[in-house]
Structure 1
Amino acid sequence: MPSVPPFPRWDVHRLPRAEGKSFLVTGGNAGIGYFVAEQLAGTGALVVLGSRDRAKAEAAIASIGSRVPGAEVKHLPLDLADLASLKASVDALGLDRLDAVIHNAGVALDDPPRRTTAAGHELMLATNHLGHFALTHHLAPLLAATPGSRIVTTGSFAAKSERLDLDDLQSTRDYRSKRAYARSKLAQMLFAFELDRRLRAVGSTTLSVVVHPGGALDSLTPSRPHFPALTAGERLLHLPLGLLVQGKDAAAWPAVRAVLDPDVRGGQLWSPRQFGLRGTPRTEPLWNHLADTTTAARLWAASRDLTGNDPTFPAPARPRGRCHGSEAPPYRKGLL
């Protein structure tokens, strides 16, 4: 018998085609989210940039179009800190199915004072976690209508050394901006793993996957027309850091692979290969506190109460057969 050629290794520079698919990238107009969108646009898919700022989104769309001829990219007005607006944003998508959402948008405040949204929620928790929690609720019908759809959540290395304080989730006591940011990212990651457990429990084919981008610097990032320009001296100054971290184009690779790779599974954590800081994407074992199901369940309940939303996915309909009540046999791995 002729030998079966080995399955090709994942190549970050030769992505599989995805014509006919649609992807929503929150915060897709800037930073890592921009490069996620640019790379996904190169596959032939429709890419939607979820962004508050129309001008920045239009600049990103023009940039992607200049690099990806024929790219199908559009803007969706989206403000994750405004929970009351999210249903209208999802309705404005104008889609009846969605292959993936990449929960990428985020805000990091460097200095006090503590800031809140119109609803009174601490701003980083509201934007990074609560907004994506509520957005998932509103997107659930579109994702459930798409077999094998994916919810890709961007976490952060900063969350590795933090723990949630569920008695002070909003950081009303002893507010420290860097700690509040790290906890908001940890909340995102715990939510995503709890979501995957709930999806598996109902037999959904939608996958919830977590990625973190590692270390990403503007000075190591390829130039794009709508990004702040860096001088040659600034780039040279930071060039040695390329041994430890990478540019934002490479930091987008884990999310892009989580969207496109057919071998990705729900509940996985994808990160850069070298110390979780740089390199091509690979899976890594869950950090111990990410596997804390009790904390994740309590966070879910608190998030439901704060947002008034509860992301639920229906069990897929069972195929009708002729076997008088017997179920179809399960598929075997590797067989169609």
Structure 2
Amino acid sequence: MSWDVKHLPRADGKTFLVTGGNAGIGYFVAEQLAGTGATVILGSRDPVKAEAAQASIRARVPGARVGHVRLDLSSPRTEPLDIERLDAVVYNAGVLLDRPPRRLTEEGTELMFATNHLGHFALTWWLAPLLAAAPAGRVVTTGSFTAKSESLGLDDLQNERDYRPKRAYARSKLAQMLFGFELDRRLRAVGSTTMSVVTHPGGALDSLTPSRPPVRVRTTGERLRGLPAGLLLQSKEAAAWPAVRAVLDPAVRGGQLWGPRVFGIRGLPVLEPVRGQLADVELAARLWTASRELTGLDPSLAFSPA
């Protein structure tokens, strides 16, 4: 089927959760989903920023149904969701540190690995009953194209040796993507109606991104400086398209990877082949075991029939 990013299918009566939906790409995922008539919940640890994002969405989407749940993925503590079912969750929130030193969570886990991967791994356990209550729930995990060129060392998941922030970030995103594929395999194994899809946003810059006051305002100078980069990269509004399609398109299937059409960096959302480490079933299974040991949870068991 043809897919029009400017004319999305209606999703009235459905409920979606977007982690990190208060800023960046996550904000635009939330804004676009809100335009379909669905109820959109922003998962954010900062209530002030979440309120600003809700105000911006309501200003652009008349009658938008948008709410907030407090969520800190570095140490997963979420408020109860007062809903009967969850039709989809978009795992978008993430931390990217620019420089050393290596930072730890309160539990002593490396911050980027804990937030980007383990937090979403654990959150899946808590959301499982709500996703299972939907006729066809979806878990959409947002990875990164930088993960494709990285390798994952199971003996040093928390980057204790030779810590380099950008590499640690790419590895955490690779772990996220492997989790998304392994989750779908385990959902199929237990006969769940929920499916897991992996996406990545390509390359996105703030300077190419339209303003969304009070969330963020782009200056004229910033816009002009960003014009040359528009030949290769895209805005965060466009970078949201793969995740939005993964949530809404009835043709999407579990275990798929969606990203931008042009060299995987920019453009309309299309289906991509799953290759290299992303297709390593044994690596994904071993990562799952390690994540289960670190969190004390096994999300796939939460989907198993009673």
- What SS class does the counterpart of residue 235 from structure 1 fall into? helix
8 Å CA contact retained: 2:73, 2:114: yes
Give the corresponding residue for 1:205. 193
Moved over 4 A (4+): none
Q: Which one of the candidate residues 101, 104, 108 is aligned to 1:120?
A: 108
Q: How does 1:1-336 map to 2 (within 5 A)?
A: 7=1, 9-83=2-76, 85-86=77-78, 89=79, 92-312=80-300, 313-314=302-303
Alpha-carbon distance, 1:307 to partner: 0.6
Alpha-carbon distance, 1:231 to partner: 2.4
Whole-Å separation in 2 of the counterparts to 1:171 and 1:284: 29
Q: TM-score, normalised by structure 1?
A: 0.89
Give the corresponding residue for 1:326. none
- What SS class does the counterpart of residue 282 from structure 1 fall into? strand
- The count of aligned residue pairs is 305
Matched residue type, 1:146: A
- What SS class does the counterpart of residue 24 from structure 1 fall into? strand
Matched residue type, 1:74: G
Q: Unmatched 5+ residue regions in structure 1?
A: 1-6, 318-336
| Residues 76-113 of structure 1, C-alpha deviations (whole Å, 9 max, x = no match) | 00000113x24xx2xx2111210000000000000000
8 Å CA contact retained: 2:56, 2:215: no
8 Å CA contact retained: 2:16, 2:39: yes
Matched residue type, 2:143: G
Identity, in percent, stands at 72
Q: TM-score, normalised by structure 2?
A: 0.97
Matched residue type, 1:185: K
Whole-Å separation in 2 of the counterparts to 1:279 and 1:164: 28
Whole-Å separation in 1 of the counterparts to 2:105 and 2:47: 20
| Residues 174-231 of structure 1, C-alpha deviations (whole Å, 9 max, x = no match) | 1111110000000000001000101111221211000000010111111110244332
Alpha-carbon distance, 1:233 to partner: 2.2
| Residues 224-260 of structure 1, C-alpha deviations (whole Å, 9 max, x = no match) | 1024433212211211211111000000000000000
Whole-Å separation in 2 of the counterparts to 1:249 and 1:106: 17
Whole-Å separation in 2 of the counterparts to 1:238 and 1:15: 28
Whole-Å separation in 1 of the counterparts to 2:249 and 2:152: 31
Alpha-carbon distance, 1:300 to partner: 0.4
| Residues 300-336 of structure 1, C-alpha deviations (whole Å, 9 max, x = no match) | 011001111110244569xxxxxxxxxxxxxxxxxxx
Task: Tell me which moved more, 115-124 or 236-245.
Answer: 236-245
- What SS class does the counterpart of residue 283 from structure 1 fall into? strand
Matched residue type, 1:240: P
Whole-Å separation in 2 of the counterparts to 1:191 and 1:290: 10
Matched residue type, 1:61: Q
Give the corresponding residue for 1:3. none
